[in-house]
Amino acid sequence: MMSNNHKLKVFSGRANRALAERIANNLGDTLGRIVLDNFPDGEISVRIDEDVRGRDVFVVQSTCPPVNENLMELLIMLDAFKRASAARLTAVLPYYGYARQDRKDVGRVPITAKLVANLVTRAGADRTLALDLHAAQIQGFFDIPVDHLHAAPVINDYIRTMNIPPQDFVVLCPDEGSIKRALIHQKKLGGAIAIVDKRRSSATETQQANLIGSSLEGKVAVIFDDMISTAGSVVGAANVARRAGAREIYACATHGVLCGPAVERLRDAPLKQLILTDSIPLPPNKHLPNIKVLSVAPLLADAIKRIHFNESVSRLFE
């Protein structure tokens, strides 16, 4: 257990201050004081406005769009805290951007998920707390401890309130890469399983035609994904489900990046409700009436408390 003068303090970057405030509230505290600004040439300026010497500091920053700005701000904040003699520095990354480039699947491409892990570590982080990384193996890209949380319990609790009759419930995987994640939900929620055969033709375009597994005729299909970026995957899956006769279609994702054509696609999609978390802020112009946002603040606050008091974080998965 860290001693009293190693008191826990949560600070926020500008990416998702609302979530950081909720986390601090859940810890019965307010956010640490820090002044974040841009110099006239666009460079980021950071000034920590309180003493952090010997503190157990948690820096909350989602590296969501504007990705490069938010990432750079995180790195500069970490540098500032390190130089201000924080005792321990945890980068809390509710959304970890650059994660989808996690292997060399063609020649002469970078592995940005690894590069960003290196940058966060070199900037001064002693540990990382992440939520639904795009691929679990990204944990291994860090040479510092990573606590990897899942929003599944928060999403499952909400799905349970919908009281979908078990015989009608079908967990729908939007692609074959999401089967493992969907099975985690299905294990807790029950229901049958179906998989959409998704082929990606570019970063914004996907083709979905075939369905594998359980019939959707007259059923309630619930799609589970880690993120919605341009919404091609989730809307394609919803259209397949509608053509297959599903009577109601829901989609859930931890991270609502919602970039490019996402909002228009979602507006026209046959989705009764889209369930997201607040890992990424949802500006009013993207807040469609059928979007429900669940907060991951209690989960992250609980994990922060456990890290601070050297208690098991994996307990949160039970």
**Pick from 178, 237, 191: nearest CA to 211:** 237
Is 230 a binder of ligand R5P (CB under 6 A)? yes
Minimum CB separation from ligand R5P for residue 185, in Å?
A: 14
Residue 226 sits in the site that holds ligand R5P (CB under 6 A): yes
Q: Is 82 a catalytic residue?
A: no
- C-alpha distance from residue 92 to each of 20, 59, 120, 309, 314 (Å): 10, 6, 11, 16, 16
Q: By CB under 6 A, tell whether 78 contacts ligand R5P.
A: no
Q: Could you give the 3-state DSSP secondary structure of residue 8? A: strand
249 binds ligand R5P (CB under 6 A): no
How far apart are CB 225 and ligand R5P at their closest, in Å? 5
Q: Which stretch binds ligand R5P (CB under 6 A): 17-25, 173-181, 279-287, 293-301?
A: 173-181
Say how many C-beta atoms besides its own lie within 10 A of residue 254's C-beta.
29
Name the segment binding ligand R5P (CB under 6 A); options: 60-68, 158-166, 230-238, 282-290.
230-238
The yes or no reply on residue 229 touching ligand R5P (CB under 6 A) is yes
- Apex 273 CA angle, 132 and 167, nearest 5: 90
Could you give the C-alpha distances from 8 to 56, 262, 315, in angstroms and in order?
Answer: 5, 38, 20
> CA Rg, the chain, in Å?
20
Interaction between residue 228 and ligand R5P (CB under 6 A): yes
By CB under 6 A, which span of 105-113, 207-215, 220-228, 281-289 interacts with ligand R5P? 220-228
Q: Return the C-alpha torsion angle 79, 80, 81, 85, nearest 10.
A: 100
Binding mask 9-38 vs ligand R5P (x if CB under 6 A, - otherwise)? ------------------------------
* Closer Cβ to ligand R5P, 180 or 287, answer by number: 180
What is the size of the binding site for ligand R5P (CB under 6 A)?
13
CB nearer to ligand R5P: pick between 92 and 235: 235
Q: Do the beta carbons of residue 124 and residue 85 sit within 8 Å?
A: no
H or E segment at 64?
none
**Which of 212, 255, 250, 222 has the alpha carbon at shortest distance from 100?**
255
Does the protein bind ligand R5P through residue 172 (CB under 6 A)? Answer: no
Residues that bind ligand R5P (CB under 6 A): 174, 177-178, 206, 225-233
Active site positions, annotated: 198
